[in-house]
Structure 1
């Protein structure tokens, strides 16, 4: 039964990785200029523990995708992204996954992340991460159900609270 639920969540998540307007903050880059490919090489912490910080991208190593500029820490990561962007883009166009589970689009902090079944999810604050982690599969399911109704609306224009970007670098 768990396998069936996990398969359904994975199948649903692959359909909502991107479709609307990408969240871009004041940096002018998707995911605040952090390298989305690099997350897949970081060791994930267990649920309830803080994740390692994201890897800042370089403003001279970029790619365009889903109407946004993405920064990368290396040319190899940029090339991997260009070859298969859907593999690396965060779910819900870079908006907070828990926010989408609750029915809205709010910004997401690139240092508050988790990869579930090969999909990158971001959240807005440490408190929200706690709520998200109480039921990750349930929140993914709720978000997947809510996404079709909100994906076509514009990206959030809010600033990420309690976050100062250190990316992109040169």
Structure 2
């Protein structure tokens, strides 16, 4: 009887984690199941630029798949994923703060503020990072509140 109860508990726990991972993944900006269009999240911090990751250096974190450019970057991410994951699920930080919209990004347009990675839309003569920089505190506060409503 104890064995059966243990198995049921494990199955229920896995089901809850799976549902959480799926919900999280549906809120993230992923393309072909990959976050940040295949760019290495750690490289933004360590190299100060967007670097494409490699398929053979992959990890999944709570339902979201990331590519890495080096094994060292992958290990750094595994030690502290929340440090390296982009804010607002990898959606445009400006759009999240300005209009509570999930807008795609240009992975080469980014900013690191207070140790957090923010990504931005940049196409057709519209670089939202420039506008973000003019109103960063207000937009960040609004984006944080909007994202919290989405992920709840």
Tell me which interval the TM-score lies in, with the shorter structure as reference length.
Answer: 0.7 to 0.9
Point out the structure with the larger helix share. Answer: 2
8 Å Cα contact 1:29/1:68 also seen in 2 = yes
Give aligned pairs, total: 125
Q: Structure 2 stretches of 5 or more lacking a match?
A: 1-23
Aligned residue among 107, 116, 119 for 1:122: 119
**Consecutive aligned runs of 4 or more in structure 1 exceeding 4 Å deviation:** none
2:58 is matched with which residue: 62, 70, 80? 62
The answer to which structure has the higher strand fraction is 2
User: What TM-score does the superposition give when structure 1 sets the normalisation length?
Assistant: 0.68
Higher radius of gyration, 1 or 2: 2
Q: TM-score, normalised by structure 2?
A: 0.75
* Cross-structure match for 1:142: 142
Q: CA deviation at 1:20?
A: 6.6
Q: CA RMSD in A?
A: 1.9
1:42 pairs with 34, 47, 71, which one?
Answer: 47
What is the aligned counterpart of 1:74 among 60, 70, 90? 70
Structure 1 residue runs of 5 or longer lacking an equivalent are: 1-17, 44-52, 153-170
Does 1 or 2 have the higher relative contact order (CA < 8 Å, sep 6+)? Answer: 1
1:64 deviates by 0.3
